[in-house]
A and B are shown apart, each in its own frame.
Chain A
Amino acid sequence: MAKMLIKKHESCPADCSQCIQACAAARGGADPVVEKISLPEKGYETVLTCNQCSDSVCVDVCPAGALTAEDGKVMLNSDRCIGCGLCNLSCPYGGIFSAKSAHKSFKCDGCREYGSAACAENCPLGILEETDAAAVEEQYCEDPCSPGMQFCAGCGMELVLRMVLRSVGPDIVLFGAPSCCVPADRVKVPMYSTLMTNVASAMTGVSRYFHRIGRETICVSVVGDGGTCDIGFGALSAAAERGEKFLFICYDNEAYMNTGIQRSSRTPYGSWTNTTQVGSVGRGKSRDAKDVPMLIAEHGVNYAATATIAYPEDFIRKVKKGAEAAKTGFAYIHVLAPCPTGWKMEPEKSVEVTRAAVETNYFPLWECDKGEYRFTYKPKKVKNVSCFTDYMRRFAHLDEEEIAILQGYVDARYSQIKRLTQPVLPD
């Protein structure tokens, strides 16, 4: 199984070396293959290890065949290494080490002997993290969309669409409403575009028909927050209450983006939109967002969850779980999908910003499986919500006081979910 070590763009504490000690221990006392990098002059504290590149230069340049790519890892066979130094001269990431006494290179082997990555296990802040990349890798097999997608650069919804289609497979009918996601002519599966008001009703009809004729094709929606949480909410709530058997996926970009960035019920407190202007009177949206994933979960549905594109393995797992749950009842996944155009941010930061949303508890990752709530990811060190808002110019006007109000909403929402995840004690 392909496991992947991820290093986050975050600063390590200057005096922490737990990963290094754990690495040395896991290697039976041999020199560690994680290195502490400390450059106080730049406030730069981090760790260095092999990236396990899939297209690795070191493997290419090794004349002895000592370096090989195996099962998502770059392995070094020390017996074959002749110590010619080419890997070290060529790795542009500094991921290979030169043995101090022997004429050999050495590097991280992903803790092959030890079993799981010792460095990540022992990182108190989750800066090094090991994830199971098998599901993510599988995603790259076939493109479920034809060339020529017409979305803005950095569109989070496009990633959502691809991940959903790849995770569910081809036996699917996709549902959409008028929105950015009108890719009917671009996806390689059947797609039914309805009105904003009645996506859930149309899905009810089609899924019931499939069940009646004994067909297993799954009905899945990819609908924006406007269609889900405002205009189509009545039909959605009704379908959830009836326990219809389909998977409703909402991609939430926190406003009506397709029509020119208007406020939705999911627009957060303080956010600029074209209908919550910032000026002499307005200061962005004056109210908090409606917690729709929680509302749907409280309908007593089979499965409800939140997800983001920054945690693809979590997202993919939830899609698969949701698809399974939809065989017997209603399943709902609420995905935070950035809109760089409407959020006024750099398009290449799309994934990063959703990670910040999770790490600040702005958008906690949880699931509710038949009434049982649990967090699927918990940040080890929760950051201030400004670490999320700083990415976007839609929040640029917020002063400290307003940030504090937003922080208050974030904390309240988080503790509400936290309460739900805890067992109820008798009085």
Chain B
Amino acid sequence: MSTKYVILGAGPAAQAAAKEINLYDDDAQITLYSAEDSAPYSPVALPYLLSGEMKEEDLFYKCTALPAENISFFRNKKAASVDPASKTVLFEDGETAVYDRLLVAIGASPAGKDIPGIAREDVFVFRTLADYKALQDRLERENKEVVICGGGLVAVEVAEKLASAGCTVTVVVRSRLLRKYFSEEMGACITELLRKHGISVRDGRNVAAASKKDGKIRLTLDDNTALSADLVVAAMGVNPNSLDGLETDGAIEVDEYMRTKWEDVYAAGDVASVLLFNGEKRPCPISPEAAAQGKTAGRCMAGAKVPYDAAVPANYLRIMDQDFFSMGVSEGNRADGFVTLKKQEEDSFLRLTIKDGCLVGAEGRNRKDIHPGLLRFLIRSGVYVEGEKDLLLEKPKETALWLAEQCRRAGIG
């Protein structure tokens, strides 16, 4: 008898799981349900629609490769609750689906759309294709003065792409840009670059009050300066989505096989709380990890147990033809045992963070010569680099490859 696999979600985690189940279980009956009214896609590509570097129809190209024979897909099907006892999903439209194995890959949603004083239709978020369409539609009709609240990767990326598309952009951020992703000096470098690009960055500021008059929004910051805007984008981080019946506080905890505490219920992607390379347990909301988790979940659901490696957060950013990457710990205190090595050259930068002799973080600017995936391998595998750390800084590509090959010959990773 074939097994019924139900997958809630259609993002990178869900897509990877479906592909993997199909590979491992010939008789699988796989069904994906998306809350959105579109074919499966990856949100990573959405900013590239804003700048016109990608066309909307190309967003779905990848999923045309999803093998279709055993896989059905339903759009506009938002799950409301799950009953693990009867193995049933209840959708918002009243329909139900029964599963043998369930994967919850419903991702995350922008945190907080409410800005007191502004009507909800003037505040935009940026997570889904529908969000993009709404924003794009508004931008096509109106003046292009945009205020972005938030300082994470989505805020910065959207700011950069909108500015490239000809908008006047201001970013208001409570502390500094990219605090969670890049070190202070790299954050400052990116801020300066955005400013050069014509984007006004108001760091260390909050919106104190807002109002709307004659079609223009007026924002007052906590230093009493005023900003005007046609629309506001709220990009203040994301919260994991949730379902009734699978109560948790925050993300859904999973083990190394992506199993939850409910029988035959798995979770993967932005919704799941996983083990990180440094022992932390929390979501690692980036797309490559979502795909890796989806793959692990899919394999395990189909009966093959291959555990998930610890997650290593990693990001890539491009601003005005400059490249930035960061991974692992972005900055650590000497007092907590972190050692920082830096190499600054005229137009490039590399920082390595080491703890207990192991590489735990790296960030770079205009270092296209490096293969960052190799550094990420060293972090993920907990490779001891103490004796080679200066060489690793001087010749990161060569040394990382050498270390990685040593490990692989010794059977690690």
Contacts and interface: CB of A to CB of B under 8 A. Distances in A.
Interface of A: 9, 37-39, 41-42, 44, 46, 48, 57, 60-65, 68, 80, 82-86, 88-96, 98-100, 103, 348
B61 A65 contact: yes
Name which of A44, A92, A98, A99 has the most chain B CB atoms within 10 A of its CB.
A92
B254 to A, nearest CB: 19
Given A61-B287, A63-B12, A96-B371, A85 B45 contact: no
B391 A41 contact: yes
Interface of B is mostly: helix
Interface string B152-190: 000000000000000000000000000000000000000
A89 B325 contact: yes
A68 B62 CA distance: 9
Contacts of B398: 37-39, 44
B62 A62 contact: yes
B373 A91 contact: yes
Contacts of A46: 401, 405
B376 A92 contact: yes
B44 A60 contact: no
Interface residues of B, number: 49
A88 B373 contact: yes
A39 B406 CA distance: 14
A195 B225 CA distance: 98
A90 B411 CA distance: 20
B323 A85 contact: yes
B316 interface: yes
Contacts of A9: 409
A80 B55 CA distance: 10
B98 interface: no
Name which of B12, B58, B288, B374 has the most chain A CB atoms within 10 A of its CB.
B288
Contacts of B395: 39, 41
B302 interface: no
A370 to B, nearest CB: 43
Nearest to B60: A65
B402 A94 contact: no
A103 B319 CA distance: 11
A60 B316 contact: no
B377 interface: yes
Contact of A84 (B44, B64, B321, B400): B44
Contact of A85 (B318, B391, B405, B411): B318
Given A39-B402, A57-B288, 19 more contacts: A38-B398, A39-B398, A41-B391, A44-B398, A48-B371, A61-B288, A63-B62, A63-B287, A64-B54, A65-B65, A80-B58, A85-B316, A89-B315, A89-B325, A90-B288, A92-B404, A93-B404, A98-B368, A348-B411
Given A82-B45, A91-B371, A48 B401 contact: yes
Contact of B374 (A62, A63, A68, A94): A94
B371 A94 contact: yes
Contacts of A62: 62
27 contacts: A39-B402, A41-B391, A42-B391, A42-B399, A46-B401, A48-B371, A61-B12, A61-B287, A61-B288, A63-B12, A63-B41, A64-B45, A64-B54, A64-B58, A82-B48, A84-B44, A84-B48, A84-B316, A85-B316, A88-B373, A89-B327, A89-B372, A92-B376, A93-B374, A93-B377, A94-B400, A103-B321
